[in-house]
Amino acid sequence: MRVRSFNHRVAAPVLAAALGVTSGVRVAGAADGQPTQRELLEQINALKAQVDRLQATEEARQDKLTAAEVDATVERVLGDAERRSQLLQVQGFTAGYDKGFLIQSEDKRFLLKPGIQTQFRYVANYYDTDDNNHEDGFEVRRLRLRFDGNVFSPDLTYSFQWDTNRSGGAVTLLDAWLQYRFAPSLAVRFGQFKESVFHERDVSGFSQLAVERSLADAILGGANTDRVQGVSLIYGGGKDDAIRAEVAYHDGANSRNTDFRDANADFGAGGRLEYKAFGDWADYRDLTAKAGKANLLVFGVGADFTQAFDADVLRSTADVQFEAADKLVVYAAAHANYSDLNDPDDETADDSTDDYGALVQAGYLLTDKLELFGRYDIVQLDQPAEGGDDTFSEVTAGVNYYLGDKGSYLHKAKISLDVTYLPDGSPAAQTAQGVVAGEEEQIVFRGQFQLIL
C-alpha cells in the first residue's frame, strides 16, 4: 500500500506537469522556437524512467523494512513462548516424569504427583446349580484419581484419592490424609486412611500377585477393616530400620466417609508390627517376584478391635513374606477373628464366635516378562453358613505378563490371567473376587489389564 501511495504522490504530478508543458508547446512552440514535440516526449520518457527508478528504490526499502519487522515479531513471539515455558523453572519449580508425573520445587519443599490408576477386567464364573450356572462379563474393576506429595517440607506428606464404583460409576473419596514426621523415626497421620493390620490389604490392589486378593481376605481379613477415620502413630520403616510399627485410634473398622456421629460403632483401635530380618522395605510394598531388588524376609503381626453396637470384634493376623531377588516370592498368613455379639434380650447368652483362616501363595519368574503364580487359602467359620457348611477353600493359579523391555513397566502396565476353583463355593457373594454366593463348587476365570500413569 505504501508503494501505491508513492506512485500517486510522485508519478502523477510529474506526468501532469509534463502534459501541461506539452499543451503549451502546441500553442506557442512553433512560433517562438521552443523544443519540438519529439524533444518533449523524450524528456517525458526520461522523467518516467526516473520515476521507475525511484519507485523501485522505494519498494526495496519497504521490503527491507517489512522483513525486519517480521524478524522482530518472530523474535518477540519466540521469546514470549520461551519465557512462558520456563515459568516454573524461573520460579524455582520443575515438572517432569520420574516413576510418575510430578511438579516439584527445587528445594523439594513442595511436591505434587498426580496419578490415574485403572484395571479393566473380564470375569466368567461357572457354578453348579440346577438353574443358570454361568455368569460372565466385563467391568472396570478400579479407576482411581490421586494426588500425593508434600507441602512446606518433605516431612509433611499427603495423599488424596478418589475411586469409582464399578456398578454405576459413582465417584467416592477413598483416602484423604496428612502425615507429619516430627522425629527421624516417628510420624503422626490423621484423616481417612487404610488401617494397617493385614499385609495383604496394606499392599495396593495394583501390586497384588493374583488378579484379586484372596477369599480369606474378603471374609476375615482387610476387607472388613479397610479405610478408617482417625489418627495413627508410626514408628520406623526407614531404609535402615529393622522395625516398623503403627497404632491407630479411629471411629471403627471400615468407617470411611462417615461424619462424627456413631453410626455403626462406638470406637476402634488397631495396629501392626513388622520386623525386617533382611532386605529393603521398598520391596515389601508388593506381593510379586518381579519388583524385588534384593533378598527380603519380613515378619508381621496385626490386630484391630472395634466396639460396635451389635458386637465387639477382635480381628488378628500373623504373616511372613520372603523374596529371592527378581526370581521368587512366597507369602503366608493366618487370621483369627473373635466376635462377642451383643444381645440386649439375653445378656447371659453365649453368642461369641471364633473364625479362622489361612493362606499361602508363591510367584516364580519364568522370564523377565512372565511370572507364574499359585495360591491356596481356607476359611473356617464358627457358625455354619446358610447351607450348613462352615469350611470354604480356594485354589488359584495364573500368570502375570509385564510389558516393556524385560518387563520394565512392572505394575504400571501388566496383563494378568488366572483361574480360581472353589470346591465348596462361598458363604456370601464376593463380587470383587468374581465369586457368587452358594455352597456349590465354582470355577472363576479372570483376565485383567492394568495401567498406572
Taking the C-alpha atoms of residue 286 and residue 298, their distance in angstroms, rounded to an integer, is 12
State the pTM of this model: 0.79
Taking the C-alpha atoms of residue 171 and residue 371, their distance in angstroms, rounded to an integer, is 33
What are the residues facing 380 on neighbouring strands? 356, 391
**Cβ pair 340, 312 in contact under 8 A:** yes
**Cβ pair 116, 453 in contact under 8 A:** yes
Taking the C-alpha atoms of residue 176 and residue 189, their distance in angstroms, rounded to an integer, is 10
pLDDT computed for residue 39 by the predictor: 80
Instruction: Give the pairing of strands 134-150 and 156-164.
Output: antiparallel
Closest CA to 192 of 171, 205, 179, 174: 174
What are the residues facing 416 on neighbouring strands? 400, 448
Residues 6+ apart with CB under 8 A from 283: 291, 292, 293, 294, 296, 323
pLDDT per residue as tens, the chain (453 positions):
444 444 444 444 444 444 444 444 444 444 456 678 788 888 888 888 888 888 777 776 666 656 667 677 778 878 776 666 665 554 688 999 888 999 999 999 999 999 999 999 999 999 976 666 889 999 999 999 999 999 999 999 999 999 999 999 999 999 999 999 999 999 999 999 999 999 999 999 999 999 999 999 999 999 999 999 999 999 999 989 999 999 999 999 999 999 988 777 889 999 999 999 999 999 999 999 997 889 999 999 999 999 987 789 999 999 999 999 989 999 999 999 999 987 656 665 568 999 999 999 999 999 999 999 999 999 999 988 877 789 999 999 999 999 999 999 999 999 999 999 999 999 999 999 999 998 899 999 999 999 999
pLDDT computed for residue 346 by the predictor: 60
Placement of cell 526516473 in the chain: 50
3-state secondary structure of 190: strand
**Cβ pair 312, 305 in contact under 8 A:** yes
pLDDT computed for residue 32 by the predictor: 52
Residues 6+ apart with CB under 8 A from 294: 278, 279, 280, 283, 325
CATH superfamily of domain region 93-452 = Porin (2.40.160.10)
Residue 207 buriedness (CB in 10 A; 0-12 / 13-18 / 19+)? middle
Residues 6+ apart with CB under 8 A from 194: 175, 201, 202, 226, 227, 228
At residue 149, φ and ψ (nearest 5 deg) are 155, -155
pLDDT computed for residue 26 by the predictor: 44
Residues 6+ apart with CB under 8 A from 16: none
Q: How many CB atoms lie within 10 A of CB 190?
A: 14
State whether the Cα torsion 381-385-388-389 is positive or negative.
negative
The cell for 387 is: 447351607
Taking the C-alpha atoms of residue 385 and residue 46, their distance in angstroms, rounded to an integer, is 117
pLDDT computed for residue 132 by the predictor: 65
In single-letter form, the type of residue at position 353 comes to T
Taking the C-alpha atoms of residue 299 and residue 334, their distance in angstroms, rounded to an integer, is 12
